[in-house]
Amino acid sequence: MFDSLKLHDLAQKQLGTLRRPSRIKPTLWVVQENGVRAVVKDFSTNGALLRNTAGRFVVWREKRAYQKLRGVRGVPEMYRVIDGLALVMEEVPGRNLRDLDEGMELTEPFFEALKGLIEECHRRGIAHCDLKRSPNILMGYDGLPYIVDWGASIAEKEFSFFPLSWIYRRFLLDDSMAIIKLKLRHLPQSVPEEARLQYSRRSIPERIIRAIRNGLQKFFKSIL
């Protein structure tokens, strides 16, 4: 699928842009072939430094996660990667949770489905690690949850020995905690006091990874 798509064709062939590139973010194109629509996350439009470092790295990480998660309901299918720089994936018809109307209530069944989806990804040995960012979770027009943006994910296999295995377990927990964060915003009455307390204690690995990521973002912003 999308086998003939080339990087330099994207600007002409696209149906639209979900997002224009910034200094540190890739372009998100929508393309269509034989009636199938796809989203392309494309670092080829970024500056050479970002493109060839973080860009290639993120595409490689994300591709690996999508391969492991193939067939999980709620994870878009990955069609292909173009030249190591652009990831072509199934378009999820829906809206990301950041774009939902302020104060819009989500239902208990939605959260149950999200919990099941996260658990299934964990069973496949992948922790997302960035689920607390609401743009990474979508509500499909079918009312079901979908998860995108697997570039920061880690695989259980890479973290199988202590102390990495301990860090991995914290990441699994942090993924699950994202549900509490979302519930606090969209269904607060369903969050018991105990869960609120648990949520307010941020794990050390999460703080470390966030600090590293923020540092890298600042670094790229300063040199680009």
Ligand X SMILES: Nc1ncnc2c1ncn2[C@@H]1O[C@H](COP(=O)(O)OP(=O)(O)OP(=O)(O)O)[C@@H](O)[C@H]1O
Residue 55: CB minimum distance to ligand X, A: 10
As a whole number of angstroms, the distance between CA 117 and CA 182 comes to 15
As a whole number of angstroms, the distance between CA 118 and CA 72 comes to 10
As a whole number of angstroms, the distance between CA 177 and CA 172 comes to 9
Binding site for Mg ion (CB under 5 A): 135-136, 149
Q: 135 or 192, CB closer to ligand X?
A: 135
Residue 196: CB minimum distance to ligand X, A: 26
Q: Do 22 and 224 form a contact (C-beta atoms < 8 A)?
A: no
Token duo for residue 197: 């307390």
The option from ligand X, Mg ion, none interacting with 74 (CB < 5 to 8 A, set by class) reads: none
| Residues numbered 66-105 forming contacts with ligand X, rule: CB under 6 A | 76, 89-92, 96
Residue 134: CB minimum distance to ligand X, A: 8
| Residue 56 is a binding residue for ligand X (CB under 6 A) | no
Sign of CA dihedral 203, 205, 210, 215: positive
Total number of residues that touch ligand X (CB under 6 A)? 17
Q: 17 or 190, CB closer to ligand X?
A: 17
Quote the crossing angle between the two packed helices 108-123 and 164-186, to the nearest 10°.
Answer: 170
Q: Do 78 and 87 form a contact (C-beta atoms < 8 A)?
A: yes
Distance of CA 8 to the CA centre of its chain: 25
Q: 21 or 205, CB closer to ligand X?
A: 21
Residue 96: CB minimum distance to ligand X, A: 4
Q: 113 or 191, CB closer to ligand X?
A: 113
Q: 93 or 116, CB closer to ligand X?
A: 93
**How many other C-beta atoms lie within 10 A of the C-beta of residue 18?**
14
Residues that bind ligand X (CB under 6 A): 18, 25-26, 28, 39, 41, 76, 89-92, 96, 133, 135-136, 148-149
